[in-house]
């Protein structure tokens, strides 16, 4: 390390669905170091998270360029990533990971084209309409659109979709760009969130020790009360955020 603080052990773990890591440093050696060194050490984990988050932002913002070596950079269809239960696509036997290229005679190159086609059905007030769906292999299926729950004039095919980036080689899986995009999107949320939470002034997070070091540097002899107050406030904010998220979005686990 830059500050020459010995590391006793390190490792990685997976808590439910959150990956993480830990480093055990020599506490006796760290106690002898300057406040500046301590602050750098306590902020190291979150700093790494934020730095990695910026890297993921760059990859996410230049997604087409990232996949270009293996896949075409422009979307040439709509990839079916999921099917709604009892939806028109499921009833018609459309398989997951199929590629839609036409709806009736309308060319579909990306999800926005599919959405625009369905809007025209909405405007005609015919939510239960037969649509001829053409796939990249030339096969067709007749799909009866279904009305959306709570909006009887809105027509749905009953599919979840993503841009289709054609692979440059036949052995490459067509679903990989979607899986990579989803992973990057997940990392955008997790990396920054974990970095921020870790710096909350609440035990046992690094933010508690960071806060304690700052208070000691400012000349506060007893930091216990201030740390306890900050910890309670942080816990309240964290708990209310988690509760609100559960109320609005539910759990990440299927029922």
Residue 15: other Cβ atoms inside 10 A: 7
Highest mean pLDDT among 116-130, 149-163, 170-184: 170-184
Domain borders along the chain are 7-62+181-249, 75-164
Architecture of domain 75-164: Roll (2.30)
pLDDT band at 19 (very low <50, low <70, confident <90, very high): low
* H helix intervals, the chain: 27-31, 35-61, 63-67, 88-91, 111-123, 176-198, 206-217, 224-249
Which pLDDT does position 254 carry in this prediction? 45
Confidence of residue 102 (pLDDT cuts 50, 70, 90): very high
Cα–chain center distance at 93: 29
Which pLDDT score, from 0 to 100, does residue 247 have?
78
The strand pairing partners of 160, in sequence order, are: 82
Higher-pLDDT residue of 217 and 65 is 65
Q: What is the pLDDT of residue 95?
A: 92
Euclidean distance between CA atoms 212 and 27, whole angstroms: 15
Nearest-10 crossing angle of helices 176-198, 35-61: 160
pLDDT given at position 167? 95
């Amino acid at each position: 390390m830059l500050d020459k603080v010995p590391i006793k052990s390190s490792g990685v773990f997976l808590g439910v669905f959150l990956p993480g890591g830990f480093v055990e440093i020599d506490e006796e050696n760290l106690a002898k170091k300057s406040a500046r060194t301590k602050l750098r050490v306590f902020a190291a984990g979150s700093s790494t998270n934020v730095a990695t988050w910026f890297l993921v932002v760059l990859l996410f913002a230049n997604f087409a360029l990232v996949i270009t070596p293996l896949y075409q950079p422009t979307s040439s269809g709509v990839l079916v990533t999921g099917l709604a239960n009892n939806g028109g696509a499921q009833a018609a036997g459309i398989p997951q990971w199929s590629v839609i290229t036409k709806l009736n005679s309308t060319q579909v190159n990306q999800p926005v084209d599919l959405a625009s086609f369905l809007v025209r059905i909405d405007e005609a007030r015919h939510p239960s309409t037969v649509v001829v769906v053409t796939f990249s292999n030339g096969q067709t299926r007749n799909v009866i659109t279904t009305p959306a729950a709570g909006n009887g004039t809105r027509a749905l095919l009953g599919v979840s979709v993503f841009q289709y980036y054609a692979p440059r080689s036949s052995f490459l899986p067509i679903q990989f760009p979607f899986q990579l995009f989803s992973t990057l999107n997940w990392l955008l949320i997790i990396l920054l969130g974990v970095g921020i939470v870790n710096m909350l002034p609440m035990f046992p997070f690094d933010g508690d020790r960071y806060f304690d070091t700052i208070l000691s540097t400012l000349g506060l002899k007893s930091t216990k009360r201030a740390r306890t107050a900050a910890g309670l406030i942080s816990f309240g904010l964290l708990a209310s955020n988690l509760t609100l998220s559960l109320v609005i979005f539910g759990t990440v686990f299927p029922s």
